[in-house]
Structure 1
Amino acid sequence: MASITQTRNHSGHKGGHSHHHHHHDNVYLTSQNKNDAGVRITRLGLYSNLGMAIAKGVGGYAFNSKAMIADAIHSVTDLASDVLTLATLSFSLRPPTDKFPTGFGKIESLGSLGVSSMLLFGGLWMGYGSLLTLYGHFFLDPASAAEMMSHAHGHSHSHGHDHASAAPSLHAAWLAAGTVAIKEWLYHATMNVARERKSSVLASNAVHHRIDSLTGIVTLAVILGANLMESAAWLDPVGGLLISLMVVKAGAENTMAALFELADKSIDDEVKASVREQAQKGFVDISEGHDIELRDISGVKSGQNYLVDLEVAVPSAWTIEDVREVEEKTRTRVGSKVRGVRRVRVRFVPKEVAAGPKFDEFIPGDVSPKSSPEPEGEDDNHNGHGDHHKSK
C-alpha cells in the first residue's frame, strides 16, 4: 500500500471567509517552520488575540463596560478554535489502531463541542446581563435596579446602582482604541503575506482580524457615546447586547458543526469537488483514463481529517493487479493533493454494469422477527414446544 504523503496544498479550499471557526484552516498555526512568514504572522495573531481577550475582560470589569466584556468573549471565539487545534493536533493525527480503526479525529470534534457550547452559553449570559441592565435603566427606580443587579450577579456591588447603570469609564475608550489599532495592523500585515503567497487561508485569517477590528469600533463608539451624551448610559449595555448576539451566533454555528461531525455528516461539496478533480487527473496517468470512471464520492470529517470513500468503475476483464495499481495511485494522488485527507478507500465495480442504487452496500435496516432468524437453540425450543402442543 502506498504511503500517503503529508504535503498539503490549497486545492481543496478556495477563498471566502466564514465565521464558522470549526472549519477554519490552521495550516500555518500548526506548521513547525517558524521561519516562514505565514507561520510567524499567524502565531503573532494568536498571541495578540490571547493578550487582548485578557486585557478587554479585565478592563471591561474594571471600567464598568458591558460592551468591552462582551467584546472580550467575542475575542475568545476567535481564539478558541486555534487553541483547540494546537491542543488536539497530536491526538487527531495519530495513526489508527485496532481499538480506534478510524483514527482519533473525533477527539477534536468532542473538544470543539465543549468549547463552542461554553461560548454559546457565555454569550447568552452576557446578553441576559445587558438586558437586565437595560430593563433596570428604563423601567425601574434606582433602588430597585440596584437590588435586581445585586441578585443577578450573586453579590452586592459597593457602588450600588451607579456601578450597574452608570456610563463606563472613559479609560475603557483608550483600551478599545488600542485593540482596534492592533487588529488593523494585523489585518494589513496578514493580508500582505496572503497576497504574496496567493494564500486563501491567510486571507481568511486577515478578514478575521478585520472583523475583530470592526467589533472594537462598535465597543469604542458605545463607550464614547455613553460618556459624551447626557443620559446615554444605556448605550453601553446595548453595545454589549449586540456583541453578545455575535458571540451566540458563532457559538451556535460551531456547536452545530461539532454535532454534525460527531453524527458523521458527509464531507462538504467543496472537498468532494477537489477529490474528484485529483482522482480524475490520476486516472489520466493510468491508461489515459479511458477505461476508468469515478462514479461516487462520499466520506466524513473527523476533526482535521477527511475519511474518503470512492466508487470506481473499471472493465470487468481487469485483474486484481490492475485494480490494485489504480487503488494505490489514486490513494497517493488524492492524499497528497487534497489537504486534510487521511484515508482513501476505493470500491471497484464493473464498468459494463449500470450503477447500483446509492448506499447499496448497507444491510437493510428492517430487522423484524420474521426476517431475522432466531438462534438455533431457541428455534429448537420453540419447535419442541410447538410439537408438544400439537401432540396434545
Structure 2
Amino acid sequence: MATQVRSHSDDTGTENNNIKNNHGSGQHDGHSHSHGLFSHHHHSHDNAYLTSQNKNDSGVRITRIGLYSNLGMALAKGAGGYFFNSQSMVADAWHSLTDLASDFLTLATVSWSLRPPTDRFPTGFGKVESLGSLGVSGMLLGGGVFMCMSSLQILHAHFFLDAAAAAEVMAHGHGHSHGHGHDHSGPSLHAAWLALGTVLVKEWLYRATMKVARERKSSVLASNAVHHRVDSMTGIMTLLAILGANFIHDASWLDPVGGLFISLLVIRAGWENTASALYELADRSIDDEIKRSVRTSATKALANDVYLTNGQQHLVELREVSGVKSGQNYLVDLELAVPGDWTVETVRSIEDAVRIQVGSSVRGVRRVHVRFVKLDEPVEKFDEFISGNPSSSPEPELHKHDHDHDHENCHNHSHGHEREHKH
C-alpha cells in the first residue's frame, strides 16, 4: 500500500490519551487551543457531551452545569457592569457570550443539521448551522468593536479632556444616570464582589470538570476544563482592574484598560468565528487532521476489511482524500486506484467496506463519495471540472428547440394574420 499513515482517529473510543500531556501542550482530540491570558481560547467545539441526551452520564452532567453556569454569569456580569459602571466587567460579559453563542447555536441546530438529504438539498442541511454561526459571530464581533470603542473613548476623556467634559463623555457612554452611590471617576467597589464570585465559580467548574476528565480519560472534557480555567484568569484580570481603580490613587483608567484588553479578546474570537463560517460556506477543504483520520480509517479498511475472490485487494491504492465541512458534518471524497479490468461488483465491495469503516471511525462524517480510477494511469487533479469559459459554451439544445418552436409559432401566426387582412 502506498498510503500507510499514522492513525489519528477522531472517534470517542480513541480519547484515551494522557490527560496530563494534553493539558500541558494545549492539544486535544479534534481541536487546538491558544491558551494565554491575552489570547482567546478559540477552538472547534466537540459537542458530543453537549448534545447527548444521556443525563446520567457524569461527563454530560458537568458539561450542562458549565453551560448553565456560563449563561447565568454572562447575564450577571452584563447587568453588574452596567449598574456598577465597570467597562471591564461589561467586556467580560461579552467575552462569555462568545463561547455561549456557539454552544446554544449547536443545541438549536443539531437536529436540523443532521436531517437526511433531500432532492432539493442533496448535500444535507449542515450549512444551516454555518449560516447561524455567521450571524451570531457577526453580532459578537460588532459587540466587541463597540466595547473597544467605548473603552477607548473613556480613556481619551480621562487623559485628554477636563473633568466636566470627561464626566459628560462617561455619562453618555453608559447611557444612564449613575445614581447608584458612586461618581464617574471609576467602577463601584460592589463590582469587585461580583467579579470575585465569577472567578470562584469558574475555578470550581475547572476542578470538577478536570476530575471527571481524568476519571473518564477524556481529552474533550479536559479541553472544557481548561476552557473554564482561562475564563477564570480573565475574571481575575477584571477583578484586578476594578480593585486598582478603587484603591490606587487616580487610577480609574485601569477599569477601561481592562475593558479594552477583554474587548480585544472578543473581537479576535468574533473575527475567527466569522472567518470560519465564511470559509465553511465557501466550501473550503476539511483540515489536515480530519484528512489524516479519514486516510487512516480508509487504509485500515483496505488492509483488513476488503476480501476479494481474486486475492488482489493489495492492489488498491488510496490516492486522494478531500472534502468539505457542512456544519457539524463532513462530506468526504476519496480517490481509489484499481486495475482497469476489475468489475463493478468488485469495486462496489471495496466502496462499501471503506464507507462503513470511515463512517464508523471518524466522528462527523456523513457522506463518503468514492471515485475509482485506473491504477496504471495518472489522473490530473480536479480533472472532473469542466474547463473553459461557461459564457462561451454553445446554447443548450433544449433552449434551441424552444426558440425554434416559438419562432415557428410566431411565423405561422403572422401568416395567418396576413391572410385575414387580405380577405
TM-score (norm 1): 0.89
Counterpart Cα distance in 1 of 2:187 and 2:33: 33
Is the 8 Å Cα contact of residues 88 and 262 (structure 2) preserved in structure 1? yes
Number of the residue aligned with 1:367? 390
What SS does structure 2 have at the residue aligned with 1:29? helix
Give the direction of change, closer, same or farther, for the CA distance of 1:46–1:158 in structure 2 (3 Å limit): closer
Number of the residue aligned with 2:293? 274
The superposition leaves residues 45-72 of structure 1 with CA deviations (integer Å, 9 ceiling, x where unpaired) of 1001001001111111121111111111
Number of the residue aligned with 1:333? 357
Q: 1:181 aligns with which of 181, 200, 223?
A: 200
Question: 1:159 offset after TM fit, Å?
Answer: 5.3
Is the 8 Å Cα contact of residues 20 and 253 (structure 1) preserved in structure 2? no
Question: 1:365 offset after TM fit, Å?
Answer: 4.0
Give the direction of change, closer, same or farther, for the CA distance of 1:261–1:10 in structure 2 (3 Å limit): farther
Indicate whether 1:345 and 2:369 are aligned: yes
Question: 1:367 offset after TM fit, Å?
Answer: 3.1
Instruction: State how 1:255-334 maps to structure 2 within 5 Å.
Output: 255-285=274-304, 286-287=306-307, 289-334=313-358
Amino acid in the other structure paired with 1:320: V
Give the direction of change, closer, same or farther, for the CA distance of 1:113–1:183 in structure 2 (3 Å limit): same
Question: 1:166 offset after TM fit, Å?
Answer: 1.6
Counterpart Cα distance in 1 of 2:330 and 2:43: 14
Indicate whether 1:36 and 2:82 are aligned: no
Give the direction of change, closer, same or farther, for the CA distance of 1:20–1:210 in structure 2 (3 Å limit): closer
Counterpart Cα distance in 2 of 1:202 and 1:156: 42
Q: 1:169 aligns with which of 188, 193, 203?
A: 188
Is the 8 Å Cα contact of residues 313 and 350 (structure 1) preserved in structure 2? yes
Counterpart Cα distance in 2 of 1:226 and 1:144: 20
Number of the residue aligned with 2:88? 67
Is the 8 Å Cα contact of residues 244 and 251 (structure 2) preserved in structure 1? yes
Give the direction of change, closer, same or farther, for the CA distance of 1:265–1:128 in structure 2 (3 Å limit): same
Indicate whether 1:49 and 2:70 are aligned: yes
Indicate whether 1:9 and 2:12 are aligned: yes
Is the 8 Å Cα contact of residues 168 and 227 (structure 1) preserved in structure 2? yes
Indicate whether 1:157 and 2:177 are aligned: yes
Indicate whether 1:102 and 2:123 are aligned: yes
Give the direction of change, closer, same or farther, for the CA distance of 1:88–1:339 in structure 2 (3 Å limit): same
Q: 1:194 aligns with which of 208, 213, 226?
A: 213
Question: 1:158 offset after TM fit, Å?
Answer: 5.1
What SS does structure 1 have at the residue aligned with 2:390? coil
What SS does structure 1 have at the residue aligned with 2:262? helix
Counterpart Cα distance in 2 of 1:365 and 1:36: 56
Indicate whether 1:247 and 2:251 are aligned: no
Counterpart Cα distance in 1 of 2:336 and 2:176: 69
Give the direction of change, closer, same or farther, for the CA distance of 1:176–1:158 in structure 2 (3 Å limit): closer
Q: 2:245 aligns with which of 218, 226, 230?
A: 226
Question: 1:74 offset after TM fit, Å?
Answer: 0.5
What SS does structure 2 have at the residue aligned with 1:23? coil
Number of the residue aligned with 2:164? 143
Q: Which moved more, 1:192-201 or 1:230-239?
A: 192-201
Is the 8 Å Cα contact of residues 11 and 337 (structure 1) preserved in structure 2? no
Counterpart Cα distance in 2 of 1:203 and 1:374: 59
Is the 8 Å Cα contact of residues 241 and 258 (structure 2) preserved in structure 1? yes
Is the 8 Å Cα contact of residues 30 and 46 (structure 2) preserved in structure 1? no
Q: Which runs of 5+ in 2 are unaligned?
A: 1-9, 16-28, 35-39, 405-423
Counterpart Cα distance in 2 of 1:308 and 1:106: 15
- The runs of 4+ residues in structure 1 deviating greater than 4 Å are 18-22, 150-153, 375-378
The superposition leaves residues 135-187 of structure 1 with CA deviations (integer Å, 9 ceiling, x where unpaired) of 1111111221233344445x563559x74x42211111111111111111111
Is the 8 Å Cα contact of residues 154 and 169 (structure 2) preserved in structure 1? no
Query: How much identity, in percent, do the aligned residues show?
Result: 66
Counterpart Cα distance in 2 of 1:115 and 1:228: 38
How many pairs were matched up? 368
Is the 8 Å Cα contact of residues 22 and 81 (structure 1) preserved in structure 2? no
What SS does structure 1 have at the residue aligned with 2:47? coil
Q: Which moved more, 1:263-272 or 1:18-27?
A: 18-27
Number of the residue aligned with 1:216? 235
